[in-house]
Chains A and B, each alone.
Chain A
Amino acid sequence: MLPTTPLRAAGVCAVAAIWLALVPGAAGAQTHGSVSRTGQGPHVRVELIADRAAPGPGMRLALKFDLDPEWHIYWRNPGDSGGPPEVTWAFPPGMMAAGLEWPAPERIDIGGLVNYGYHNSVVLPAAVAVAAGARIPPEFTIRASVRWMACANLCVPGKAELALKFPLSAVEIGQMSGWKAAIDAALGQVPKPAPAAWKASARSAGDTFVVEVLTGAREAEAVFFPLELSQVNDSAAQAVTPLPDGVRLVLRKSSQLAKDPTVLRGVLTLAGGRAYTIAAPIQ
């Protein structure tokens, strides 16, 4: 037993060193035992932020992405191509994160194919829960293993190992108000459930879905972002007709759609930066 232990340890070190040499960007701070809150890949910088200095009810963490001009990353449904960022969290026992919350995306036309995503900068928050009775030690680290696809005309994948060490440093506490403002702003852009008074319905007409959303007021602009993959043809133009009390959209069906769904779920963005999730039963 005894002689094998150092050998095995040496083997692990060698494998790790080779892996670090071969994988660009893999030499993250985490593997060296220190902690980095920020990371980057080609055309993308990412950081892990929080909206408070100590875990408690309502705490949110977030991934803040800053992109080079022209580059975008993806919404939860990426559209015709690409893929959404993914995160794997590591917490001390008793802490856990809900799924990422997604601000309303933009339609991004790349040579006739349409993606749903974000330019410039986007913050993706995640609510954190602490189990009742959990004893969170005074010093702990939250880690986020993040991977993403960034595209302009071309696409480049990226990954980063991020970590936020508590208690936060004085510098980090100084940045806290900016972090909280960024997270609050992102939450303000996350689509809200459609008001109960609204009526959303859809019907299947040949190779299109005709969706009507009655909001009680004329809606001059609207864009539908499908939450499910392969229902709506992402690249087809959406024909939008304002109605006296809402809006009508004609959406082309996806060529991947084998059978009409019973309901179309999506995000509807309206003039003035309003965004709502809707579920339109197909009648």
Chain B
Amino acid sequence: MNRTTILAAALAIAVAAAPMTTHASKTGAPAPAFKGTDSKGKVHNLSDFKGKWVVLEWHNEGCPYVKKHYGGNNMQRLQQEWTAKGVVWLTVLSSATGQQGHMEPAQADAYFAQKNAAPSAILLDPSGEIGRLYDAKTTPHMFVINPDGMLVYNGAIDDKPTSDQVDLATASNYVSAALAEGMAGKAVTKATSRPYGCGIKYAR
């Protein structure tokens, strides 16, 4: 009886632990430790932001779903709102060289300035290393990491998976909800959702 219980418990642990190795971007687990270079040439490690909330936003300027959120000033507003509250907002470009959404450093700075965007930094990831580490699928795909380095949100920006700006008015924003709940010391109600958007144009 006892032995069966112990065996069952051991199996349960083994099964629970198994997905960790393949699902690097599972919420409730430590966020994968990345290292990336931003558009100013500065190197960032995730560990640099210990003690702070971090948002990762995958971006491709030519993607209609991204255009919805930038054309409607929605993403910029979120960046301004949350960085003002101390959140580190990292916009990540994982398009390979020659693919839609790829930008050289100066080009990225000019483009985001022109959009009045307000991320903390723009990480250039043409190798796709950070994107693949997080299993980022789409632009925009959003992640929220808490001050202890745990991933607390992985998914879509909101609940309206369209490219039409008219849907912004009625959308419920998952990133804001995760940050608001997390900062209030609550568990994040909606910790995952299906990311929507354009497939990321990774290096093959």
Residues of B within 8 A of A110 (CB): 199
B115 on the interface (CB 8 Å rule)?
A: no
Which of A82, A112, A230 is within 8 Å of B202, CB to CB? A112
Interface contact B137-A83, CB-CB below 8 Å: no
Which residue of the partner chain, among A113, A115, A256, contacts B193 with CB atoms under 8 Å? A256
Contacts of B15 in A (CB 8 A): 206
Contacts of A206 in B (CB 8 A): 15, 18-19
A residues 155-195 touching B (CB-CB < 8 Å): 155-157
Nearest B residue (CB) for A257:
B192
Distance of A49 from chain B, by nearest CB (Å): 25
Residues of A within 8 A of B155 (CB): 256
Inter-chain contact A80/B137, CB cutoff 8 Å = yes
Give Cα A253 to B15, complex, Å. Answer: 13
CA distance in complex: A255, B22 (Å): 9
Residues in B with CB closer than 8 Å to A115 are 199
B154 interfacial by beta-carbon distance below 8 Å:
yes
Residue B191 is within 8 A (CB to CB) of chain A in the complex: yes
Would you give the shortest CB distance from A17 to chain B, in whole angstroms? 19
Q: Is A154 an interface residue (CB 8 A)?
A: yes
Residue A229 CB within 8 A of the other chain? yes
Whether A26 sits at the interface, judged by CB under 8 Å, is: no
B23 near A255 with CB under 8 A, answer yes
A113, B26: Cα distance in complex, Å:
19
Decide yes or no whether A120 CB sits under 8 A from chain B: no
A207:B27 contact, CB within 8 angstroms = no
B129 within 8 A of A: no
A83–B194 touching, CB < 8 Å: no
Q: How many residues of A contact B (CB 8 A)?
A: 29
Q: Give how many B residues have a beta carbon under 8 Å from the other chain's beta carbons.
A: 37
Complex contacts, A253 vs chain B, CB 8 Å: 19, 23
Complex interface: chain A residues within 8 A of B22 (CB)? 207, 252
Tell whether, in the assembled complex, residue A111 and residue B204 are in contact, meaning their CB atoms are under 8 Å apart. Answer: yes
Q: B199, A81: Cβ atoms under 8 Å?
A: yes
Complex contact B135–A255 (CB within 8 A) = yes
The residue on B at minimum CB distance from A80 is B137
CB contacts (< 8 Å) of B63 on chain A: these are: 155
Residue A258 CB within 8 A of the other chain: yes
Contact with B along A205-249 (1 / 0, CB 8 A): 011000000000000000000000110000100000000000000
CA distance A157 to B68 in the complex (A): 11
In this assembly, does B200 line the interface, its C-beta being within 8 Å of a C-beta of chain A? yes
Partner of B164, one of A81, A113, A157, A257: A157
Q: Is the CB of A258 within 8 A of B100?
A: no
User: Which residues of A78-130 have CB atoms within 8 Å of chain B's CB atoms?
Assistant: 80-83, 86, 110-113, 115
Chain A residues with CB under 8 A of B100: 153-154
Residues of chain A with a CB closer than 8 A to B99's CB? 153
Give the distance in Å from the alpha carbon of A115 to the alpha carbon of B38 in the complex.
31
CA of A110 to CA of B23, assembled, Å: 21
Question: With an 8 A cutoff between CB atoms, is A149 at the interface?
Answer: yes
| A147 at the binding interface (Cβ < 8 Å) | yes
Q: Is the CB of B25 within 8 A of A83?
A: no
A113 touches B154 (CB 8 A): no
Residues in B neighbouring A48, C-beta threshold 8 A: none
- Interface presence of A151 (CB below 8 A): yes
Collect the chain A residues with CB atoms within 8 Å of residue B26's CB: 255
Q: When the two chains form the complex, which single residue of A82, A86, A258 contacts B27, counting CB atoms closer than 8 Å?
A: A258
Interface residues, chain B, with chain A CB atoms under 8 Å away: 15, 18-19, 22-27, 62-65, 99-100, 135, 137-138, 154-155, 161-164, 191-202, 204
Partner-B contacts on A (CB < 8 A): 80-83, 86, 110-113, 115, 147, 149, 151, 153-157, 206-207, 229-230, 235, 252-253, 255-258
Closest 4 A/B residue pairs (Cβ): A113-B199, A81-B199, A206-B18, A229-B194
Known: A151-B199, A153-B201, A258-B27. 11 other contacts (CB 8 A): A86-B162, A112-B202, A112-B204, A113-B137, A113-B200, A151-B198, A156-B64, A207-B19, A229-B194, A235-B137, A257-B192
